[in-house]
Amino acid sequence: MNKKDILAGEHFLNGDVACAEGAIAAGCRLFAGYPITPQSEITETMAHRLPTIGGFFLQMEDELASIAAVLGGAWGGMKAMTATSGPGFSLMMENLGLGIMTETPCVIVDVQRGGPSTGLPTATSQADMMQARWGTHGDHEIIAYAPASPQEMFDQTIKAFNQSERYRQPVLVMADEVVGHMMERVVIDPDKIEIYPRRKPSVPYEEFLPYRGGADMVPEMACAGEGYRVHVTGLTHDERGYPDLSVESQDALMHRLIGKIRDNADQIIEVEEENIRGADVVLVTYGIAARTSLRAMELAEQKGIKVGMLRLITVWPFPLKEVRKIAGAVKGIVVPELNLGQIVREVERAAAGQCPVRLVGHAGGGLHRPEDILTAIEEVA
């Protein structure tokens, strides 16, 4: 990859554009997408940029095709991404499952908007968080980021690519309309960008088992035309990749697919802690809701309440241990999110009754009023 293809320097970018630039910086040279707001600028930026740097931009017939082309592109040896919103994310659930089952590295960006259905096509929400976790059928684990600024749209898209290669799984960037459309300073230093390369086979064809996990349960990947004659299927398969519909094979495969994320969760989970030590109340929040919460923290401090924040950078896997520890040390936890109660359920599960947990929900279309978050803080303080 050529460093000159990266948009270096300081820029004033909207979050969607920063996301596209992050993908390019991560080495993504194949983008397949379908027009939908509020992610349009990601697709448009890729259409504008990729042809100039020898990448491929594909506008597909729908989101079903977009994610399918991304999976195909990854097996063709490229880093590939798609971006969508609202109904498009629903359409991608089918092949998100294929990506998990076939252990295909790629990135899916969801710039969330209000739903269900057509909902609020141009206005924000964080209501796809549980769909991200459980939207595709069958048992599985998910890695999902929640950027809170254009800078994070850039940085976390790169992280998403790295984790997708590291764990060989599609990784989700769960942005929202406000983060996608806000314009802020984004600083890009190509020399500081670290790239996790694809895990290529370390043994010859005769010895290679495409679905045997290594010490970290993640297998090496042989792409099309590399001489490894791999069979890739969405059916339950053995270490050779061959369909094996037995209870034993399903058991071994599911334990490895789930285990490679669950057992490595400590390396994947990323949170940002602010003023947690000695806090009376901690806000557990993510994405754009965390930024509104900053104002609520200031208001609470003016009233003499010590408030900390645990911001989830990765929402999935959920930082169970971190939240459980906080719950044992504070008077209460407040969870602001732009839905009527999704991640709060995980927080309650983690808190396990150690302290009260209050949701500050919002149906979407706008952001929280800091005063509403303050009220919840005062209730539990």
Instruction: Give whichever of 165 and 337 is closer to another protein, judged by the CB atom.
Output: 165
Please select the residue that binds another protein; options are 75, 154, 208, 211, rule is CB under 8 A.
Answer: 75
Phi, psi dihedral angles at 51 (to 5 degrees): -60, -25
| Residues 85-104 contacting another protein, CB under 8 A | 94-95, 97-98
Q: Tokens 């001489």 sit at which residue?
A: 227
Instruction: Give whichever of 53 and 340 is closer to another protein, judged by the CB atom.
Output: 53
Strand order across the beta sheet in which 271-274 lies: 271-274, 307-312, 281-286, 332-337, 357-361
Question: Under rule CB under 8 A, how many of the chain's residues touch another protein?
Answer: 54
User: Does 328 interact with another protein (rule: CB under 8 A)?
Assistant: no
- Number of CB atoms found within 10 A of residue 4's CB: 8
Instruction: Give whichever of 254 and 276 is closer to another protein, judged by the CB atom.
Output: 254
User: Does 235 interact with another protein (rule: CB under 8 A)?
Assistant: yes
User: Does 65 interact with another protein (rule: CB under 8 A)?
Assistant: yes
- Number of CB atoms found within 10 A of residue 215's CB: 5
Contact 187, 154 (CB under 8 A): no
Stretch that binds another protein, among 73-81, 158-166, 319-327, 332-340 (CB under 8 A): 73-81
Contact 192, 164 (CB under 8 A): no
| 213 alpha carbon, distance to own chain's centre | 23
Please select the residue that binds another protein; options are 245, 277, 278, 302, rule is CB under 8 A.
Answer: 245
| Residues 163-202 contacting another protein, CB under 8 A | none
Q: How far apart are CA 363 and CA 337, in angstroms?
A: 9
| Site residues (vs another protein, CB under 8 A) | 29-30, 32, 51-56, 58, 60-62, 64-66, 68-78, 80, 94-95, 97-98, 222-235, 242-249
